[in-house]
Chain A
Amino acid sequence: MTNPFPLSKDDLLKCYRTMRTIREFEERLHVDFSRGDIPGFVHLYAGEEAAATGIMKHLNSGDRIASTHRGHGHCISKGVDVVAMMKEIYGKKGGTGNGKGGSMHIADLSMGMMGANGILGAGAPLVCGAALAAKFRNKGEVAISFVGDGASNQGTFLESLNLAAVWNLPALFVVENNGYAESTARDYATAVDSYVDRAAGFGMPGITVDGTDFFAVYEAAGEIIQRAREGGGPSLLECKMVRFYGHFEGDAQTYRATGELDDIRANHDCLKKFGVQVTAAGVISAAELQAIDQQVLAVIEDAVQQAKAAPLPTLADLTTDVYISY
């Protein structure tokens, strides 16, 4: 059987594993949050896995990304350790930030993951800086700013588009359009329908893809990332996607139309789509996917157990890491 996909079977399995890991990580947080195990604000990436995974598949650890408040999927697909992430979300030592940051501030600079962010739009200028540094290093590295449809209306984001174009930076701007900013509809809050038009207004190419279709994302991202690596400058990629859960955990989502969530889960599940695509082509069997599902469940269970068992930070930790020296 010939493989019609742009990735080897091995890579396809890896991408599936990444998407499934994100999904199960988020499903588990959803349950554990409702049980009261997890403090603070938690924004789940479930439903949006294909975007992060399809884009990150093109990146190496020298490539940088700046994430959003909904950052778990970006972290996992960029290679951040799920145990360290889980510990962070539980506020424990050994977490990515030793419990000081929490869900909204997971980072792993060694993996090129410059941080989830509690301030919307804040990642875009930072990515201009990362791209500028990459340009000076001259090794063909790129930097990617993820931004929601809501945060795409921040001045910081719009200024960054212009700056990246003016400096011809190897910067990419990914708008994750899930239709909502909290409870407010994208179509109300954003005057222009097309992000392709918006990109044109800043003198850069723009592409819109179905963000629930892994292969559509993979292909489009590959093209713009390659161009940026070769000195062709910034681009904007819109991924139209769906959010399976509320804005944050605890959101009753009464702003959604009746039946909307059922439809999203039934017809726009990126993992289901991927499964159908690869099994229909006969490249991967359902049993192979199920085996990964089982393994991932065990990985997540282990991460939760390790997080629960990890030590709490203490008074001595409170005042460390404010400065390098003081």
Chain B
Amino acid sequence: MARKISIKQAVNEALDQEMARDPAVICMGEDIVGGTGAGGEADAWGGVLGVTKGLYAKYGDRLMDTPLSESAYIGAAIGAAACGMRPVAELMFIDFMGVCFDQIYNQAAKFRYMFGGKAETPVVIRAMVGAGFRAAAQHSQMLTPLFTHIPGLKVVCPSTPYDTKGLLIQSIRDNDPVIFCEHKALYGIEGEVPEASYTIPLSEANIVREGKHCSIVTYGLMVHRSLEAAATLAKEGIEVDIVDLRSLSPLDLDTVLDSVTKTGRLVCVDEASPRCNIATDISAQVAMQAFSALKAQIEMVTPPHTPVPFSPTLEDLYIPSAAQIAAAVRKTIKGGQA
């Protein structure tokens, strides 16, 4: 399987294959087609970064541009899901969730429980997450912890094209609401992806690098920063295990615990704000369930507790770096027991 495609293409291909396979799959969002009602090219945008480009030609009205009304169309996707469709709604930037959060966390997330297990809401909400685009405080956030906090939602955040395709197809087929987080800084990265359709379970973390000295648990863009750190550390004779969570809810804690049991050291890396985030959650779980395996205190690498700054100089300082990750690993090794 030599074919390499980008994450952007992987999203497009997953949507394409699921729309071909299941007529209940429909897509909606602002400018996911583009040019609707205008006098020029149809399918002019295919989403703000061109991710859905080309699907309109194949599936026509099953892709819908929406008015600029997130509460209404995200809610409509959820309502349609509760009535037999399999909508994939695009929220563009996850930062816009504030406009429509009620539909997500009080409605979609709670139907099944409140209705005594009788509801199914197979909706996928796709949204761009993360910093690095100079997009400033309201278009750059990593809000994964907010969704992970809500019982009833599943939260996925892939780091490679292969995972993106398999996880998105699985998310579409999944019968629970899934928040599918696409890191905007990763759309361009390429990797091997089979042409045929395949799924990856939403409950399996992935070991992306093996090592015996320390575990790094992370997801999204930070997987790549951790790999960079690992390459530097390897030159110093330090070998790290890198666990890419891929899915934040459900969480594959077993893989995390196995890794920490093997290495005895843990660095949690999260692009989300430092309080009550994925790193704090993993740290707490490990401290509770694998305390005796730990040879050193747990380290966390996160941005500071600030909004995402606009100035490129500041944004680069804001996003956790490979150097910070490497330093945290060294600290667990120096500070701990042999």
Binding site for B on A (CB under 8 A): 39-41, 91-92, 97, 99-102, 104-105, 117-121, 148, 150-151, 153-156, 180-190, 253-258, 260, 312-315, 317-319, 322
Kindly list chain A residues whose C-beta atoms are within 8 Å of the C-beta of B139.
41, 104, 118
A-B contact pairs, 17 of them (CB 8 A): A40-B310, A41-B136, A91-B312, A91-B314, A101-B137, A118-B137, A118-B139, A119-B138, A154-B68, A182-B45, A183-B38, A184-B65, A185-B37, A255-B44, A256-B39, A257-B38, A318-B306
Contacting residue for A101 out of B41, B45, B133, B310, CB 8 A: B310
In chain A, what residue has the closest Cβ to B305? Answer: A322
- A180 nearest CB neighbor, chain B only: B38
List the 6 closest A-B pairs by CB distance, nearest first: A188-B37, A257-B39, A185-B37, A102-B310, A91-B311, A118-B138
Is there an interface contact between B30 and A104, defined as CB atoms closer than 8 Å?
no
Q: A91-B312, A105-B310, A184-B67 are in contact. List 17 more A-B contacts (CB 8 A).
A: A99-B311, A99-B313, A118-B139, A153-B67, A154-B68, A155-B69, A181-B30, A182-B48, A183-B31, A183-B44, A184-B35, A187-B37, A189-B66, A256-B38, A318-B306, A318-B314, A322-B306
**What is the interface size of chain B, counting residues whose CB is below 8 A from a CB of the partner?**
44
Q: Among A151, A180, A313, which residue has its beta carbon within 8 angstroms of that of B311? A: A313
Query: Bound complex: CA of A100 vs CA of B138, how far in Å?
Result: 12
Nearest Cβ in chain A — how far from B141, in angstroms?
11
State whether the Cβ of B135 lies closer than 8 Å to any Cβ in chain A.
yes
Using CB atoms and an 8 Å cutoff, list the residues of chain B in contact with chain A: 30-31, 34-41, 44-45, 48, 65-72, 95-96, 98-99, 133-139, 304-307, 309-314, 317-318
* B99 adjacent to A155 (CB under 8 Å): yes
Are A188 and B65 neighbours in the complex by a CB distance under 8 Å? yes
Residues from chain B with Cβ under 8 Å of A39 in the complex: 134, 310, 312
Instruction: Pick from A118, A151, A190, A257: contact of B40, CB below 8 A.
Output: A257
Majority SS at the chain B contact face: loop
Question: Which of B34, B39, B72, B318 contacts A182 (CB under 8 A)?
Answer: B34
CA distance A183 to B37 in the complex (A): 9
Contact A40 B136 (CB under 8 A): yes
Question: What residues of B have a CB within 8 angstroms of the CB of A319 in the complex?
Answer: 304-306
The verdict on A314 contacting B313 (CB below 8 Å), with A104-B136, A322-B305 known, is yes
Which of A105, A189, A312, A317 contacts B67, CB < 8 Å?
A: A189
A150 to B73 alpha-carbon distance, docked (Å): 14
Distance of A61 from chain B, by nearest CB (Å): 26
Identify B136's interface contact among A118, A148, A151, A190, CB under 8 A.
A118
Once the chains bind, are B133 and A40 in contact (CB under 8 Å)?
Answer: yes
Residues in chain B near residue A117, CB distance under 8 A: 138
The distance in angstroms between the C-alpha atoms of A322 and B304, with both chains bound, is: 11
Specify which of A92, A148, A150, A156 is in contact with B99 (CB 8 Å cutoff).
A156
Q: Tell whether, in the assembled complex, residue B135 and residue A41 are in contact, meaning their CB atoms are under 8 Å apart.
A: yes
Q: Tell me which of B44, B67, B133, B135 contacts A254 (CB under 8 A).
A: B44
**Given contacts A91-B311, A99-B311, A322-B307, is CB(A154)–CB(B99) below 8 Å?**
yes
Measured between alpha carbons, how far is A313 from B310 in the docked complex, in Å? 11
Which single residue of chain A is at the shortest CB-CB distance from B139? A118
Partner of B38, one of A100, A148, A150, A255: A255
- A257 vs B40: C-alpha distance when bound (angstroms): 4
Contact A184–B38 (Cβ < 8 Å)? yes
Tell me which residues across on chain A come within 8 A of B72, comparing CB atoms. 155
A308 to chain B, nearest CB (A): 14
Kindly report which residue of chain B lies nearest to residue A257, judged by CB atoms: B39
Task: Looking at the assembled complex, report how far the CB atom of B63 sits from the nearest CB atom of chain A, in whole angstroms.
Answer: 13
Which chain B residue lies CB-closest to A151? B68
Contact A318 B317 (CB under 8 A): yes
Q: Is B314 touching A313 in the complex (CB atoms < 8 A)?
A: yes
Q: Which residues of chain B come closer than 8 Å to A183, judged between CB atoms?
A: 31, 34-36, 38, 44-45
Contact A184–B31 (Cβ < 8 Å)? yes
A contact residues around B66 at 8 Å (CB): 189
